Structure 1
Amino acid sequence: MKLQRNLWVSVVFVAVAVAAGAWLYPQLPAEVPTHWDLHNHVNGITSRFWAAAFPTLGVLAVAVLSVVLPAASPRQFAIRRFGDVWGVLMLVMQGFVLVASLGMLLAGAGYAVSMPTIVMLATGVLYLLLGNYMGKLRRNFFIGIRTPWTLASDAVWERTHRFGGRLFMLGGLVTVLIALVDPAPWLLLIVLAAMWLIAAGYSYFIHLRLEGSR
């Protein structure tokens, strides 16, 4: 039942991406800005056709990976142990790609949208949702805080992800607030780097505590 739900949500995402691409295509210039530097200066462009197709291709790519990666996962790291959470988070990723890419098209078509604000808001919501489900993830190679110490131990993985869930939700909230106040891309990089470095360091700390207790 949940698999069918996920499939239908993906279909809706793809339909929105196709419709938005078709609607905005005539309004796009021959070359569409698709990449910006840390100072919000355009440093990458794409032809109109591929820019309009990007939302659809991006959502489809994530949808395909959501099926392919569990099938390719080693048995001892089977994703089916947390299949429902995996499905939800893959839908969240599809939504993130859809929102960010549609923002890019709207900006390219001349609409008054701020790409830094859109990307940071989408990233903040992504981490809020990821943090909310983090404690339900089990050891795997594709999603979560994957360090040598979390991948080697269920105990280290579980404790790290309980802590990481709270950390990511805090980081997501901070990112949303920054997006609303001063959407500077370099601030986003600082927040993301801090979250991942703290989480990785915590996993090593827990590893030392558990190994030391033995």
Structure 2
Amino acid sequence: MKWHRNLLVSAVFVVLAVIAGVWLYPRLPAEVPTHWDLHNHVNGVTPRFWAAAFPALGVLIVAVLSVVLPAVSPRQFAIRRFEGVWGVLMLVMQGFMLVAGLGILLPGAGYAVSMPSIVMLAAGVLYLLLGNYMGKLRRNFFIGIRTPWTLASDAVWERTHRFGGRLFMLGGLAVVLIAMVDPAPWLLLIVLAVVWLIAAGYSYYIHLQLEGSR
């Protein structure tokens, strides 16, 4: 039943993305700005059709992966052990793809919205939600803090993700505040890099603690 519900929500996201793409298509230029440098200067464009299709394609790809990846996961890393959390986080990722995609299209269509603000707010909320559910993840190859030490030990994975959940929520909150004050892409990259480096370092620290105790 949960999988059916998740697929239904995914279908709603795809339909919304298609409607938005069709609605914005006539307003988009032939070449739509879709890539920016760290100083928020456009350095890449995409043909109008593919730009308009991007939100729907992004949502659809994540939706397909949410079904395919559990099917191909090795047995000892089975996603069914936390399939409820997996389903929720895959929907969160689809929501992020939808919002980020629209955040790119709307300025190209002439609407007075800030692309960096929208994308950074979406990224911040994404990290807040990931952090909230991170402690419920179990060892797998596809989502979470995947280092050699977390993948080798259930104990290291669990302790790292309990700590990582709080860390990701703190990082997400920082990104949201930055987006509201000064939505500079380089600040987003710095925050996310620091979060991942601290989480990876912590996993190694816990590994050393447990190996030392043996």
- TM-score normalised to structure 1 length: 0.99
For 1:95 and 1:68, the matched residues in 2 are separated by 19
Structure-1 residue corresponding to 2:207:
207
Matched, 1:102 2:102: yes
Equivalents in 2 of 1:96, 1:4: separation in Å?
21
Equivalent residue, structure 1, for 2:20: 20
Structure 2 gap segments, 5+ residues each:
none
CA distance in 1, matches of 2:27, 2:178: 31
Q: What TM-score does the superposition give when structure 2 sets the normalisation length?
A: 0.99
Per-residue deviation at 1:8? 1.1
For residue 199 of structure 1, report the CA deviation from its aligned partner: 0.2
Cα distance in structure 1, aligned partners of 2:186 and 2:29: 28
What CA distance in whole angstroms lies between the structure 1 residues aligned with 2:28 and 2:116? 20
Deviation string 1:119-161 (CA, Å, 9 cap, x unpaired) is: 1100000000000000000000000000000000000000000
Q: Which residue of 2 aligns with 1:31?
A: 31
SS class of match (2:29): coil
Distance 1:102 1:188 in 2: 19
Asked whether 1:141 is paired with 2:113, we answer no
Q: Give the secondary-structure state (helix, strand or coil) at the position aligned to 2:132.
A: helix
Q: Are 2:40 and 1:40 aligned?
A: yes
User: What is the number of residues matched between the two proteins?
Assistant: 214
* Alpha-carbon distance between aligned partners in 1 of 2:33 and 2:26, rounded to the nearest angstrom: 15
Q: What letter corresponds to residue 100 of structure 1 in structure 2?
A: A
Given residue 154 of structure 2, which amino acid in structure 1 is its aligned partner? D
Report the Cα offset of residue 103 of structure 1.
1.1
- Aligned counterparts of 1:104 and 1:178: Cα–Cα separation in 2: 19
Name the aligned partner's letter for residue 202 of structure 2.
Answer: Y
Task: Kindly provide the amino acid, as one letter, of the partner of residue 188 in structure 1.
Answer: L
Moved over 4 A (4+): none
Distance in 2 (alpha carbons) for counterparts of 1:203 and 1:186: 26
Question: Structure 1 regions of 5+ residues with no counterpart?
Answer: none
TM superposition shift of 1:5: 1.2
Structure 1 position 76, deviation (Å)? 0.4
SS in structure 1 of the partner of residue 69 of structure 2: helix
User: Could you say what the CA RMSD is over the residues aligned between the two structures, in angstroms?
Assistant: 0.5
Distance 2:84 2:76 in 1: 18
Residue equivalent to 1:10: 10
The alignment-based identity, stated in percent, is 86
Q: SS in structure 1 opposite 2:90?
A: helix
